[in-house]
């Protein structure tokens, strides 16, 4: 593997982590979010600030970063409880624009220039870069996938599925909508925070534009393309949407157009996602598949 | 005197100017089946929704299992052992029939955040849910997606879910409507058996024959007010009740 | 005082532009319950088409007509080829499709017209006005005047014509209207055509007003108009217009005049979230 492939793969792994977090909110709990990049950004900024300004190591900062992002997710999740469906979609877009504006306009966050000179992650005195950082990201991705699997098999996860399907009935089964929606929000945003931290120390320079609304769209597209609420959907979606622009790189000028065209064609003709129900892949695998949990 | 499980006092629920429920009082005893009857629009379902916590009452008091419960949200009522069905069925459409019932087996898990992180895929939970499905005769549909079931099956699924939640009281909202004759009899036997197991049942029913046969006592509502209360035999002879039903175009499928 | 009034007028002009773009979005949401983000791309295409026809014909009138016709066709194509087949899926599916169309159309504009900001050297045929000792420059009076005419036309269309009645029936319930003998799909198509034509006009007006046409000119309106229709009560056309004017004035006064150090484009969303927390159905919504 050359450096270029490793870079793309690392980025895809990070995006997959963030998309898994979004999958908890949208796929499991059914709460549409178009502002997930804001929490990706909060994680990145928190880690960047803690390591550059406060002088902490990546590992010391990480628990704080995840906690802070989850806490902000909790705070911003509370107003989101009041609205649903399309109102929720637009509210989360608003959250994304406002958070980006805060990064851009509050001098503490470095303004349009962002934050640079973010240190590399070190482990046992080894500075992680290239292949070793890719492996680190893959380990975190595996951890997130295990947590997701555990969550879908927990009562809390089942409560989220029930809320997604039929909120009134779920209430009648003893499920508090507030508690479990917020739980999904916190779990999803904290995961985005982890992804953000990995991103900051991978790029070593971050600016507000990295976490703008189109990034949220891309993240939602990943889980929709891969298969909403499925275990591997976010990973597949991230792999496709991160690698496509790279594969098209030789096409120069028209590569972004081709990319949006493919996104449109996929969503138009496979709206349930590549691993979703009734999808091509599902029908082929149908015979071997064990009893499903989520959708 | 028999022990009172549910006590409703001067219950009122107004929607703007509409007095859907207007000063209703009744008691429900332990191990009793109480029928709630009345013509369409009498306020039965609204009454149900206030008792189960979907709406907060405009005024009045509700006591359930020894504590005051008016204004508590539905999930708290469920945790107190109140299980209910919905007149318009509300399955978790994309989950399997079995998983639908398993959701309702978790009532005391959802109360505690830490305990809610335990697994629901263990054999014991599955076994318990299977038993409930067998009770309502849905065991063969266990692995089908709930959204694909016909209405009769969904009504029974609603009962299975309510049974898992309601260890004290079941609110059954027209759970016999839309069922075929040969489905009704076993379900009536089931409701009788539930009472023998120690549960109480509050029943909204349009099918008079079912209501008369199952209920120990009956409360009749009209225009949001209670117009009669008594044994089934008394109710069918009550001129006020006959007037309420026949005077509005004869909803009574007389016994 | 005079300065305040002038700023107020600028705010109304700004709000009128928002209203013209938002109208189509509100119409489409009212009828299909789809967040038609790609509407902003139709607006961008409208500006480019207008510029193209203006350069080829030399007539602003022909340019407007041509751009409106072209955008109406574009809007109808988006509805027929993408939205209608996706109606039965959850709302995020058409939303993502819409965002893909927005990005794709912006790319097409950039590839064809180049990555530069083009100028729109046209004169709006409106005289500068002098009212109450106030100078109203020609573009401002033109924008406010044209918006008023369009709004009157729409009001007449929806309340005084049979087509308008059908539109309102379809927005109540697509399938029931179909059962009542209304050709729902034709009404939906008509709605897209009207909304898109108005967006084209808005694109041309903005192009002339700022003397700028560029491929990403729709990016900010794309999302800001979403906030506007939420504040206006999703799907309510009068609400959308009122919210547009309110936002135009608020942006101009608060940020341009009172110098509140706030990013102009974030104001819409802050206002939106504040309104939603206070009234979760929007300022003028009823549902």
User: Above pLDDT 90, what percent of chain B?
Assistant: 39
Highest mean pLDDT among A189-193, B211-215, C259-263, C267-271: A189-193
A166 touching B (Cβ < 8 Å): yes
Q: Is A55 exposed, middle or buried (0-12, 13-18, 19+ CB in 10 A)?
A: exposed
pLDDT digits (tens, 9 = 90+) for A215-250: 898 898 888 888 888 889 999 989 988 888 788 777
* Band (B255; pLDDT cuts 50, 70, 90): very low
State the ipTM, two decimals. Answer: 0.88
Count chain A–chain C contacts defined by CB atoms under 8 A: 109
DSSP single-letter state for residue A156: H
The region of weakest confidence among A113-122, B98-107, C185-194, C271-280 is C271-280
A165 touching B (Cβ < 8 Å): yes
B184 touching A (Cβ < 8 Å): no
Task: Report the pLDDT averaged over residues B29-56.
Answer: 90
User: Which residues in chain B are contacts of A174 at CB distance < 8 A?
Assistant: 75, 78-79, 104, 106-108, 110-111, 165
**Cβ-defined contact of A79 to C273 (cutoff 8 Å):** yes
Report the pLDDT value the prediction gives residue A293, as an integer from 0 to 100.
42
* Band (A286; pLDDT cuts 50, 70, 90): low
**Cβ-defined contact of A213 to C223 (cutoff 8 Å):** yes
The region of weakest confidence among A10-14, A89-93, A159-163, B99-103 is A89-93
Specify whether the CB–CB gap between C54 and C60 falls below 8 A.
yes
- Nearest CB to C89: which of A34, A91, A271? A271
A228 touching B (Cβ < 8 Å): no
DSSP A13-31: HHHHHHHHHHHIIIIIT--
Task: Report the pLDDT averaged over residues A52-56.
Answer: 86
Distance to chain C for A293, nearest Cα, Å? 20
- With vertex at residue C215, the alpha carbon angle to CA C214 and CA C218, rounded to the nearest 5 degrees, is 95
User: Which residues in chain C are contacts of A26 at CB distance < 8 A?
Assistant: 92
Report the pLDDT value the prediction gives residue C235, as an integer from 0 to 100.
73
Q: How far, in Å, are C60, C61, C136 from residue C208 at the CA level?
A: 11, 13, 16
Please measure the distance between the N-terminal and C-terminal CA atoms of chain C and give it in whole angstroms: 40
Element spanning A250, H or E: none
**Half-sphere exposure (Cβ direction) of C26: Cα atoms closer than 13 Å:** 31
Report the pLDDT value the prediction gives residue C178, as an integer from 0 to 100.
72
- Residues linked to residue C263 through DSSP beta bridges, in sequence order: none
Other C-beta atoms lying within 10 Å of the C-beta of residue A117? 9
Specify whether the CB–CB gap between B80 and B66 falls below 8 A.
no
**Half-sphere exposure (Cβ direction) of C270: Cα atoms closer than 13 Å:** 13
Full pLDDT tens readout for chain C, 287 residues: 567 777 888 888 889 989 999 988 888 888 888 889 899 999 999 999 999 999 898 888 899 999 999 999 999 999 999 998 888 888 878 888 898 899 899 989 998 888 888 888 887 777 777 776 677 777 788 888 889 999 998 888 888 888 888 887 887 777 777 777 777 788 889 989 999 999 999 999 999 888 889 888 888 888 888 888 888 877 788 888 988 998 888 888 877 666 666 667 777 788 787 777 777 666 666 54
Please measure the distance between the N-terminal and C-terminal CA atoms of chain A and give it in whole angstroms: 36
Give yes or no for residue B250 having a pLDDT over 70: no
Report the pLDDT value the prediction gives residue B253, as an integer from 0 to 100.
46
Q: What chains are in contact with A, requiring at least 3 Cβ pairs below 8 Å?
A: B, C
Q: How far, in Å, are B114, B145, B183, B184, B186 from residue B180 at the CA level?
A: 44, 22, 5, 6, 11
Give yes or no for residue B204 having a pLDDT over 80: yes
Task: Report the pLDDT averaged over residues B182-188.
Answer: 85
Chain-centroid distance of CA C93 in Å reads: 22
Report the pLDDT value the prediction gives residue A17, as an integer from 0 to 100.
96
Report the pLDDT value the prediction gives residue B98, as an integer from 0 to 100.
92
Residue from A217, A219, A271 nearest A19 by CA = A219
Sheet holding B59-64, edge to edge: B18-29, B4-15, B59-64, B67-68
User: Which residues in chain A are contacts of C91 at CB distance < 8 A?
Assistant: 32, 85-86, 89
**Cβ-defined contact of C91 to A85 (cutoff 8 Å):** yes
Secondary structure of residue A128 in the 3-state scheme: coil
**Cβ-defined contact of A267 to C103 (cutoff 8 Å):** no
DSSP A57-98: -HHHHHHHHHHHHHHHHHHHHHHHTT--HHHHHHHHHHHHHH
Locus of tokens 């599925």: A161
CA-nearest residue to A176 within chain B is B75
B93 touching A (Cβ < 8 Å): yes
Report the pLDDT value the prediction gives residue A225, as an integer from 0 to 100.
84
Count chain A–chain B contacts defined by CB atoms under 8 A: 109
CA distance linking residue B145 with residue B155, whole number of Å: 15
Best C29, C36, C99 member to test A by mutation, with max A CBs in 10 Å, is: C99
User: Which residues in chain C are contacts of A261 at CB distance < 8 A?
Assistant: 100, 104
Predicted TM-score of the model (pTM): 0.85
User: Which residues in chain A are contacts of B109 at CB distance < 8 A?
Assistant: 155
C181: left (phi over 0), alpha (psi -120 to 50) or beta: left
User: Which residues in chain A are contacts of B120 at CB distance < 8 A?
Assistant: 153-155, 158
- Nearest CB to B75: which of A166, A174, A293? A174
Report the pLDDT value the prediction gives residue A40, as an integer from 0 to 100.
96
User: Which residues in chain A are contacts of B161 at CB distance < 8 A?
Assistant: 169, 173
Q: Is the dihedral of CA A21, A26, A29, A32 positive or negative?
A: positive
- Residues linked to residue B59 through DSSP beta bridges, in sequence order: B12
* Band (B142; pLDDT cuts 50, 70, 90): confident
Specify whether the CB–CB gap between C72 and C261 falls below 8 A.
no
Best B103, B108, B125, B162 member to test A by mutation, with max A CBs in 10 Å, is: B103
pLDDT digits (tens, 9 = 90+) for A78-100: 877 877 777 888 888 888 988 98
Report the pLDDT value the prediction gives residue A190, as an integer from 0 to 100.
96
Tokens encoding C164: 């308008």
């Amino acid at each position: 593997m050359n450096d270029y492939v490793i870079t793309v793969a690392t980025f895809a792994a990070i995006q997959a982590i963030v998309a898994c977090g979004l999958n908890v909110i949208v796929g499991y709990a059914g709460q549409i979010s178009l502002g997930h990049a804001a929490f990706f950004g909060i994680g990145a900024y928190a880690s960047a600030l803690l390591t550059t300004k406060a002088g902490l190591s990546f590992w010391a900062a990480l628990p704080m970063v995840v906690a802070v992002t989850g806490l902000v997710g909790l705070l911003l999740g509370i107003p989101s409880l009041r609205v649903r469906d399309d109102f929720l979609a637009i509210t989360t877009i608003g959250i994304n624009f406002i958070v980006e504006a805060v990064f851009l306009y509050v001098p503490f966050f470095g303004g349009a220039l962002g934050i640079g000179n973010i240190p590399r992650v070190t482990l046992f005195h080894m500075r992680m870069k290239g292949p070793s950082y890719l492996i680190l990201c893959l380990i975190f991705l595996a951890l997130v996938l295990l947590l997701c699997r555990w969550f879908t098999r927990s009562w809390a996860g089942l409560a989220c599925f029930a809320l997604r399907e039929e909120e009134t009935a779920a209430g009648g089964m003893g499920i508090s909508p507030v508690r479990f929606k917020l739980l999904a929000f916190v779990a999803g945003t904290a995961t985005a925070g982890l992804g953000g931290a990995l991103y900051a120390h991978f790029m070593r320079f971050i600016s507000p534009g990295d976490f703008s609304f189109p990034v949220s769209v891309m993240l939602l597209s990943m889980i929709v393309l891969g298969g909403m609420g499925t275990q591997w959907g976010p990973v597949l979606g991230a792999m496709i949407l991160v690698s496509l622009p790279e594969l098209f790189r030789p096409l120069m000028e028209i590569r972004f157009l081709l990319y949006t065209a493919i996104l449109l064609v996929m969503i138009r003709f496979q709206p349930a996602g590549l691993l979703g129900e009734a999808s091509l892949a599902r029908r082929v695998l149908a015979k071997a598949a064990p009893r499903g949990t989520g959708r | 005197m028999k022990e009172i499980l549910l006590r409703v006092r001067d219950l009122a629920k107004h929607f703007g100017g509409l007095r859907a429920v207007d000063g209703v009082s009744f008691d429900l005893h332990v191990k009793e089946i109480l029928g709630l009857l009345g013509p369409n629009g009498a306020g039965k379902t609204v009454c149900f929704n206030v008792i189960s916590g979907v709406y907060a009452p405009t005024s009045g008091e509700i006591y359930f299992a020894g504590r005051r419960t008016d204004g508590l949200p539905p999930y708290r009522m469920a945790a107190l052992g109140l299980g209910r069905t919905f007149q318009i069925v509300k399955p978790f459409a994309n989950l399997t029939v079995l998983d639908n019932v398993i959701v309702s087996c978790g009532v005391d898990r959802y109360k505690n955040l830490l305990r809610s992180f335990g697994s629901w895929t263990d054999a014991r939970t599955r076994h318990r849910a299977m038993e409930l499905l067998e009770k309502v005769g849905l065991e063969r549909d266990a692995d089908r997606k709930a959204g694909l079931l016909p209405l009769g099956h969904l009504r029974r699924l609603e009962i299975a879910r309510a049974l898992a939640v309601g260890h004290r009281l079941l609110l059954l909202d027209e759970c016999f409507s839309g069922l075929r004759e040969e489905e009704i009899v076993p379900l009536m036997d089931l409701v009788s058996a539930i009472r023998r197991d120690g549960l109480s049942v509050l029943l909204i029913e349009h099918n008079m024959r079912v209501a008369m046969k199952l209920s120990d006592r009956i409360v009749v509502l009209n225009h949001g007010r209670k117009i009669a209360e008594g044994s089934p035999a008394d109710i069918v002879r009550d001129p006020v009740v006959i007037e309420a039903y026949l005077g509005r175009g004869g909803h009574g499928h007389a016994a | 005082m005079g300065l305040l009034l002038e700023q107020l007028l600028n705010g109304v002009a700004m709000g009128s532009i928002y209203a013209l773009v938002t109208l189509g979005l509100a119409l489409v949401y009212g009828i299909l319950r789809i967040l038609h983000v790609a509407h902003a791309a139709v607006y961008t295409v409208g500006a480019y088409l207008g510029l193209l026809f203006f350069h080829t014909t030399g007539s602003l009138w022909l340019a407007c007509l041509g751009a409106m016709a072209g955008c109406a066709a574009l809007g109808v194509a988006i509805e027929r080829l993408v939205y209608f087949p996706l109606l039965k899926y959850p709302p995020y599916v058409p939303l993502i499709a819409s965002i893909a169309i927005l990005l794709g159309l912006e790319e097409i504009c950039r590839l064809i017209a180049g990555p530069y900001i083009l100028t729109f050297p046209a004169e709006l045929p409106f005289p500068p006005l002098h009212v109450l000792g106030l100078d109203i420059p020609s573009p401002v009076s033109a924008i406010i005047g044209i918006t008023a005419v369009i709004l009157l036309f729409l009001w007449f269309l929806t309340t005084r014509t049979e087509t308008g009645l059908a539109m309102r029936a379809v927005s109540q319930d697509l399938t029931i209207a179909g059962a009542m003998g209304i050709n729902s799909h034709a009404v939906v198509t008509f709605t897209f055509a009207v909304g898109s034509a108005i967006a084209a006009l808005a694109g041309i007006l903005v192009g002339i007003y700022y003397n700028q046409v560029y491929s990403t000119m729709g990016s900010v309106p794309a999302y800001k108009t979403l906030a506007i229709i939420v504040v206006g009560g999703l799907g309510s056309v009068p609400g959308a217009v009122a919210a547009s004017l309110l936002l135009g004035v608020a942006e101009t006064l608060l940020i341009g005049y009172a110098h509140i150090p706030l990013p102009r484009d974030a104001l819409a969303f802050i206002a939106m979230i504040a309104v939603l927390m206070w009234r979760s159905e929007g300022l003028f919504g009823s549902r």
